[in-house]
Structure 1
């Protein structure tokens, strides 16, 4: 059954690829992008594929006018996919950057979600909310703790909404990608080097770079994103499925083992 789907953060990576794929599968897609220069390229891609059912709009979650405009859209599925990443040691990351990461990844998606939920309940409409979480929503790897904290928060919010909205016929899901190669993690790994000052900070720049390089070059750090996109295209419009969706299976198994060890980990 065709759905009307609003995707945030569709200007690149998973969001862009999945927006095109969902439209190719016959859904009416509103693909929103953060900045104006991303609008025309995505429109041109949709046009080249003959996708008249893919509409591209600018939606910067920090822009109140963009957000107000987005709330006028008639949709069945809100996919909160947009996000940013702040990496580096938690004990040294500037608090204003941590606040910004929570603002973009947690508070603004929640605000948009609340607005649509109110509309749907008033309309008595069956609808769905999807959050792009992360494997980092279920554990906190070293030097990725700030980003992981925002995704942990999303997990808690999604679980609360899942229970609260069941009686209103509004479904809630999370998608938890592993470290697929989209460029997002690589870009996030650069973020601390814009503030890390060895005259002020304890962390050494060379040590941090070595740790990031090791993490990103591991088998779990450089996977082909096509697998994840294919699963997203299945999950987002579906009326059934698991609440939490970790991909690939090997990462799901690793996370389950990690969560078990948390109960016996010694300080």
Structure 2
């Protein structure tokens, strides 16, 4: 799989103005991450949020750090984050790539990243770079969606059209654990979670994914419009997942991880 960073930046910039209105799972993930930070009573000097999005979680880091830097690949997200930061909590906004972090070594005490690193090709490199940016004793708290995320949508598309990949693939839990084992970090905590979100129709789900900017952004997708017949077949396939309450489930499978630089 090849990840198209320009497509990601464009997609999330377009999604930015309406992102928070549908980011239900993302808020739950953020709360789980902040809960990990609450275990530490000390407020550190500097923090970096990689993939800050609209800045909602970045502002919440005010309780844990004196000086906060927000980084995102999408200029549109940074623009919304600036607007949302009414109290001026965030000290610096940087447009940049998580795989090419534009900072000097040992610059931060805390690095935070929620649902952003899945858009990176090389998690090992990201972990190595983050380790370099942290001061001794610093923490890296991050979350990533993994293999069974949107499994119902993936299966429905696969049965309708196996020629192309219509839904982004995410890392397996084992692959993430291998990267953690190979990194120089000490693993403090790893939580594996599965959240279910329910919809009345498939179109409601796909519209929400588009609003989140989380629709197809990989290079091996089909570049032509998918035919109406194929879309109808996918939607028909998805109906097999409808539960006894008449709702369609969508799985969000993710990891919340806390690491420390000794």
* Cα distance in 2 between the residues matched to 1:116 and 1:26: 18
* Cα distance in 1 between the residues matched to 2:241 and 2:214: 12
Kept in 2: contact 1:5–1:30 (CA 8 A): yes
Alpha-carbon distance, 1:165 to partner = 5.1
Kept in 1: contact 2:51–2:73 (CA 8 A): yes
* Cα distance in 2 between the residues matched to 1:213 and 1:138: 14
SS at match of 1:206: helix
Q: TM-score scaled by structure 1? A: 0.50
Indicate whether 1:69 and 2:98 are aligned: no
Instruction: For CA contacts below 8 A with separation 6 or more, give which structure has more relative contact order.
Output: 2
After superposition, residues 1-267 of structure 1 pair within 5 angstroms as 1-3=42-44, 4-12=46-54, 16-23=55-62, 25-27=63-65, 28-46=67-85, 48=86, 50-53=87-90, 55-61=92-98, 67-70=100-103, 73-79=107-113, 81-82=115-116, 105-118=119-132, 120=134, 124-134=136-146, 136=148, 141-143=154-156, 149-152=169-172, 155-164=173-182, 169=186, 171=188, 173=190, 176=193, 178=195, 183-184=208-209, 188=214, 195-198=224-227, 204-211=230-237, 218=247, 220-221=249-250
**Stretches of structure 1 lacking an aligned partner (at least 5 in a row):** 84-103, 224-231, 240-267
* Cα distance in 2 between the residues matched to 1:59 and 1:109: 16
Q: Given the superposition, is the C-alpha separation of residues 190 and 127 from structure 1 closer, same or farther in structure 2, using an over 3 Å criterion?
A: closer
* Cα distance in 1 between the residues matched to 2:121 and 2:84: 31
SS at match of 2:78: helix
Q: TM-score scaled by structure 2? A: 0.51
SS at match of 1:150: coil
* Cα distance in 2 between the residues matched to 1:51 and 1:237: 27
* Cα distance in 2 between the residues matched to 1:54 and 1:237: 24
**Stretches of structure 2 lacking an aligned partner (at least 5 in a row):** 1-41, 159-164, 198-204
SS at match of 2:108: coil
Structure 1 residues 211-242: Cα deviation after superposition (integer angstroms, max 9, x where no partner)? 5688799364499xxxxxxxx9xx77798xxx
Structure 1 residues 88-114: Cα deviation after superposition (integer angstroms, max 9, x where no partner)? xxxxxxxxxxxxxxxx63424442222
* Larger fraction in helix: 1
Quote the RMSD (CA, aligned, Å). Answer: 4.6
Alpha-carbon distance, 1:42 to partner = 0.9
* Larger fraction in strand: 2
